[in-house]
Structure 1
Amino acid sequence: MVFQQRTLFLILIDAILVNLSTIFALLIRFDGEVPQTYFAAFFHFAPLFTGILIVSFYIFGLYRRAWEYASIGELIAVVGAVSLGSILNVFLGYFLNNETFPLPRSVIILTFILRIVLIGGSRIAWRLFRDYGLGLKRAKGSKRVLIAGAGDAGVLVAKELKSHYNGGIEIVGFIDDDVSKQNMMVQGRSVLGTRRDIPRLVEKHRVKEIIIAIPSASGKEKRAIVNICKEAGAKVKILPGVYDLIDGTVKVDKIREVEVEDLLGREPVKVDLNDITHYIRNQVVLVTGGGGSIGSELCRQICRYQPKTLLVLDSCENNVYEIDLELRKTCPQVHMIPLVKDLRDRKSVLQVFKTYRPQVVFHAAAHKHVPMMEYNPEDAIKNNVMGTYHAAQAADMFGTKKFVLISTDKAVNPTSFMGASKRLAEMVIQYLDMISKTSYVAVRFGNVLGSTGSVIPLFKRQIAAGGPVTVTHPDMVRFFMTIPEAVQLVIQAGAMAKGGEIFVLDMGEPVKIMDLARSLIELSGLEPGKDIDIRITGTRPGEKLYEELLTAEEGLTATTHKRIFVAKRGNILPELIEEKIIGRIINGALPQHERDALLMIRELLPEFKEKEARAAAPKAPVQRTKGHAPLEDTEDKGTAGQWAGMEKAGEKLVAGAETS
């Protein structure tokens, strides 16, 4: 009903303006002394001409547009509607008046121009009043806002603030470091200076809030602006990413508080879509650990590249359920199969590969929490080493093209059982790459922001609880990367893989955990040491003060992607891996206790830097495996044919798996 009333009101206004345009045209043409015959002709044809124009306006959708947001598009629609109606009027006028138009031709032209001015002006008048007229009556409590960034993002933010708050927010102006924009007018407001002028402008204009609208800015630049704003005493908000600029979709709810992730961010990752599409499109892709932080993001991004089938495997039923529910809603076109399986169950793993024949595998399943694995080292080895071996061997047996292991910087010169287990997993896939047609690679990177158990969610919970924020050591530093960024680079590395490489991702500059804690407290509007204490708790078992991305014998080789490097292959001793890792897995002789786990790791990783207490553990005889025959060719090769001494190449196991 409201819509009908609005439409009828607009039709009435348009009918008046259409006729006024003709009257004004006659008055202009005849200098105010219009002959009576022309007025008579005008009143005779007015109902018909008016009706035609109203129909034309309706055809062009003038009554379905929200004119309070009128822009160039709406004005073009007005010109089109007036043009169509005027042309029809001229044709009818000539036809109904015996091939002579009832009014002078000059009046026709003037009428056309005046109709565009009056109809378009009426539409734009409300927009101008809403944007500027309402601003004359600012509420006493209106918030004074300064926008950092006078580019596309800043313009869209200014438009959205004006339309959303109806005068409740007063935009003081813009700041921008681009010299060419200084003193220019943007959305009716001036560019008042650069970031260095923020303190002066905040004081002069009584600015309460500053909105950072520079999506392309690096984390370093954002940190600098945020620090200046804090010193000036203004609240800071941010427009998060470049994706908000697509099709001008900036909304008020996109503008949020500054998060620490914004300050740590770097330039957006650029990927080679052709390479990625080539090796994923129309392929069966398996993601192990598909319900975890990294695995679930892998699934989301892989869906963009149109796989034939996506296999999401995880030992946690709830995790599989959540990502399955999400992807079926967001990516209904992708054929997805949820699999609740444990990689330590070899028969189950073989059955998955036999049934679905994945062509690309991303192996993200792992125990990853360093302190937790210090108390459960034997399970770190079983899950991270044996689980990797089961999946990687099955990939060889059933013709997988690429196998990508998600590794960690903690695998370099490990001081923790978790790190050591991941280094052993790297060694396993490098060994398998030597004997298989499958391309096995590892991708090594540091901490990811927002993953389960990471430091930032912990700090946020501690701040919400009133503190203290706990830091293990004042000099603790870590590399950080966002989950989407890390996954993009992992998928790109998979496209570049030829086999045997350990790819190392550019993690940027390391960040002090103490600085991270202070930033989070300050971003919460609190003061470190006054409102929230920071408590030093001491390093945890297996924890390093700093992480490394390379061992002493490794070096970096550049790739075609500036954010991805290849570590030079270290010395892999096949006999050692066959006996000390694979042989133990096959014979069920993996460690059952912490001491056994320590002894196994010492044998394989002389660089393992365990705690002194562990180093002083009683020396027990090294547990040797029995029944491990040398690898040799067999008739059923699995690709390279090396599994005869390991339960006859798995045919017996697969047959057993079919009945399990």
Structure 2
Amino acid sequence: MIKNYFTYYSQKFASKWLVFGIDLAIVLATFFLAYFIRFNFTLDFEIERLLVQVPLLLCITSISFLIVGSFKSVIRHTGFTDVVNVFKAVILMTFLTTLVVLANTITNTIPNFTIPKSIIVVHALFSFVALSGCRLLFKIGYNNLKSKLTDSRNVMIYGAGDSGIITYNALMNNTKTNYVTQFFIDDDIKKRGKLINGIKILPLNDIDESFVKNNSIDEIIVASQSIDTNNIISLVDNLIDFNVKIKKVPPIEDWINGEFNSNQIKQFQIEDLLGRPPISIDNPNLLNEFNGETVLVTGAAGSIGSELVKQLSNFNLKKLILVDQAESALYDVQQDLKRSGKYNYAAIVADIRDGLRIDTIFQIHKPTMVFHAAAYKHVPLMEKSPYEAIKINVNGTKLLADTASRYNVKKFVFVSTDKAVNPTSVMGATKRMAEMYISCLQKESKTKFITTRFGNVLGSNGSVIPLFKKQIENGSNLTLTHKDITRYFMTIPEASQLVLEAGTMGKGGEIFIFDMGESVKIYDLAKNMIKLSGLRYPEDIDIKITGLRPGEKLYEELLANGENTLSTYHKKILISKTRELDYTKVKAEIEELCITNRFQNNNIVMKMKSLIPEYKSNNSEYEKFDTRVKVYKKAKGIIENNSKDSKVFKSVQ
């Protein structure tokens, strides 16, 4: 009952006029106290004069408090600024009182009225101490009562700078939960051993299992945005098994209306544990690059495409064209644009394999730039449907690129993948073929064709993170194909920013690759996701190894055999130097492959392997063709040299 009453009334605030009246009463009491001390702790002074002085003093004090507004602060949340306001009010009160006394001495407006200077000084000192002390005592009493009647949590704040202090104040002001800040953690050697509001600052090395248990730590809140990610990963790995929640304060730009409160503190997400700082783009040239352009985005309803749309909509575009065959998802993207107040766009349901439809879109809307993100991307599914993969990833790209070239589009940016590097799957091979085709097209077109490669995107449709999250929600074991499998990761906004930046710097014909830091071991990522969900591994949720899927790599690569890189003005973006191609021959073979019969899966894969020497199937039924292709090429070479040996070629086919 008492707890309920406290919770109810703790959310209400005393009237500022009640505080005003109490402050006046305190000033009046300290005035009597000043006289009592001035006359040697006796009442040997003229009460009649005092009764004349009190009304005038109350009038002066009221004016001072009203001007400064010291009575308007919430007493339970008294801080340094509130104490400073009290000091200002007392100084103004003292100044006005002295002024009135001096003026009356000269003019004698009020006969026999004066206040001894010693009384004025002592009264000012007592008033400041009493007003500040009462506020602080009330705050201390409130916090003690709060700690007994509300849920308490012992926390440590990582970061003893300005953000750490702001976080501390926000926790203190929380009315629903009593946060008790036990320690600050900071990597700065100069701060170690010092105190903030009586709270000790410790180095990260001091925080271990025994320390957490001895101090009953419930949460560690990472307040600083500049902390080394490796330190956070180490913190999560070392402490999350001991029922300690690791939380974070969002960046300042994400604070609501520029203000921070404890409700904005969030759980760490797996995106925060990539082992590298976030990739950020701050290039003013992007504004000029897209100013007045008509930009077409394919796959606009997908993970990357929708983020590209979101970021492009912030530029001063003439028009934004959204193309996707998924009408429901495209509708959602359209609604997001409407809610953001954007109307210079056209959402079009279309299939990039329909050449006539694509040509009509270009003819009507006349795009000046194209971002091509539409593709089939699921490795196991495409391994069973090579024709479908060719139809979308190769032929769809071909039709779109041909149309862009025919309409003299300025730039065509193709979103590829690291699976195109030394491909081991049908999906990866088709993306590599699409890269090769637009490289061939560059030789005969005015359009600048640019390719971007990056790894797995956290949170994208079909990626491992949403799968793990769904399995954790269902309480089922996480499924992983191999314990040693690793992947490069970046967030959806990072990937989209880098695509835009690469599109800006591209001059035509480049394949841009992105520096994504070190590859991440998926097994470790899975364990951290379980722990960040507040569960224990393997007691609550285990990880089940299922074996590599058809076409799946153990390790992803960013460069193919025989490739190296050139640097750009952005340290996270490199240019891949690919092997030379026989452009006429490659273009003709790709065009031929695009019209291959849909039922000839084996033939399709054989031709892809012939066209891409580095394509070696892994854990797939098509591994048997890797050796045959060598014989095929050798036999084909014999035939080209000697047409009489056609029997050999036919036998290989």
Greater mean deviation of Cα atoms: 521-530 or 179-188: 521-530
| Counterpart check, 1:363 vs 2:369 | no
Greater mean deviation of Cα atoms: 401-410 or 568-577: 568-577
- Residues 80-91 of structure 1 aligned to structure 2 (within 5 Å): none
Note if contact 1:501-1:566 (Cα within 8 Å) is conserved in structure 2: yes
2:506 aligned partner: 497
Shift of 1:488: 2.3
- Residues 202-217 of structure 1 aligned to structure 2 (within 5 Å): 202-217=212-227
Note if contact 1:313-1:338 (Cα within 8 Å) is conserved in structure 2: yes
1:658 aligned partner: none
Note if contact 1:53-1:86 (Cα within 8 Å) is conserved in structure 2: no
- Residues 509-528 of structure 1 aligned to structure 2 (within 5 Å): 509-528=518-537
Note if contact 2:488-2:516 (Cα within 8 Å) is conserved in structure 1: yes
Q: Secondary structure at the match of 1:488?
A: helix
Distance 1:384 1:364, change over 3 A: same
- Residues 237-276 of structure 1 aligned to structure 2 (within 5 Å): 237-239=246-248, 241-243=250-252, 249-276=259-286
Deviations 1:430-473 (A, max 9, x none): 23333333322111011111111111222233334343322222
Question: Aligned letter for 1:69?
Answer: H
1:597 aligned partner: 604
Unaligned runs of 5+ in 1: 623-660
Give the superposed CA RMSD. 3.8
Aligned partner (choices 325, 330, 350) of residue 359 of structure 2: 350
Aligned partner (choices 62, 67, 75) of residue 56 of structure 1: 67
Deviations 1:246-291 (A, max 9, x none): 6874443443444333222411223233122221344333322122
Shift of 1:306: 4.3
Deviations 1:350-373 (A, max 9, x none): 333333333333221111111111
Distance 1:500 1:123, change over 3 A: farther
2:53 aligned partner: 42
Note if contact 2:65-2:71 (Cα within 8 Å) is conserved in structure 1: no
Note if contact 2:240-2:246 (Cα within 8 Å) is conserved in structure 1: no
1:69 aligned partner: 77
User: Whole-Å Cα distance in 1 between the matches of residues 402 and 104 of structure 2?
Assistant: 89
Deviations 1:292-330 (A, max 9, x none): 11122222333444444333322211112222222332x
Question: Aligned letter for 1:52?
Answer: I
1:163 aligned partner: 173
Question: Aligned letter for 2:488?
Answer: F
Q: Secondary structure at the match of 1:486?
A: helix
Note if contact 2:412-2:447 (Cα within 8 Å) is conserved in structure 1: yes
User: Whole-Å Cα distance in 2 between the matches of residues 121 and 332 of structure 1?
Assistant: 52
Deviations 1:187-238 (A, max 9, x none): 432124433442232233233443444443344322211222146x242322
1:572 aligned partner: 581
Q: Secondary structure at the match of 2:174?
A: helix
Distance 1:167 1:251, change over 3 A: closer
User: Whole-Å Cα distance in 2 between the matches of residues 194 and 377 of structure 1?
Assistant: 52
Shift of 1:89: 7.8
Shift of 1:387: 2.3
Deviations 1:520-566 (A, max 9, x none): 33444555455434333222111112111111121011222221111
Note if contact 1:138-1:167 (Cα within 8 Å) is conserved in structure 2: no
Note if contact 1:164-1:252 (Cα within 8 Å) is conserved in structure 2: yes
Note if contact 2:413-2:503 (Cα within 8 Å) is conserved in structure 1: yes
Distance 1:48 1:506, change over 3 A: same
Shift of 1:568: 0.9
Note if contact 1:362-1:403 (Cα within 8 Å) is conserved in structure 2: yes
User: Whole-Å Cα distance in 2 between the matches of residues 461 and 270 of structure 1?
Assistant: 29
Aligned partner (choices 594, 614, 618) of residue 622 of structure 2: 614
TM-score of the aligned structures, taking structure 2 as reference length? 0.81
Note if contact 2:324-2:348 (Cα within 8 Å) is conserved in structure 1: yes
Question: Aligned letter for 1:347?
Answer: L
1:631 aligned partner: none
2:457 aligned partner: 448
User: Whole-Å Cα distance in 1 between the matches of residues 464 and 289 of structure 2?
Assistant: 35
Aligned partner (choices 544, 559, 569) of residue 550 of structure 1: 559
Distance 1:166 1:418, change over 3 A: closer
Q: Secondary structure at the match of 1:368?
A: coil
User: Whole-Å Cα distance in 1 between the matches of residues 240 and 186 of structure 2?
Assistant: 18
User: Whole-Å Cα distance in 2 between the matches of residues 396 and 380 of structure 1?
Assistant: 23
Greater mean deviation of Cα atoms: 79-88 or 284-293: 79-88
How many residues are treated as equivalent by the alignment? 612
Distance 1:443 1:39, change over 3 A: same
Q: Secondary structure at the match of 1:195?
A: helix
Shift of 1:407: 0.8
| Counterpart check, 1:416 vs 2:417 | no
Aligned partner (choices 179, 191, 195) of residue 185 of structure 1: 195
TM-score of the aligned structures, taking structure 1 as reference length? 0.81
Aligned partner (choices 314, 322, 325) of residue 312 of structure 1: 322
Distance 1:25 1:335, change over 3 A: farther
Aligned partner (choices 411, 422, 433) of residue 402 of structure 1: 411
Q: Secondary structure at the match of 1:552?
A: coil
1:373 aligned partner: 382
Deviations 1:582-619 (A, max 9, x none): 4676xx66756423432442343232223674365799
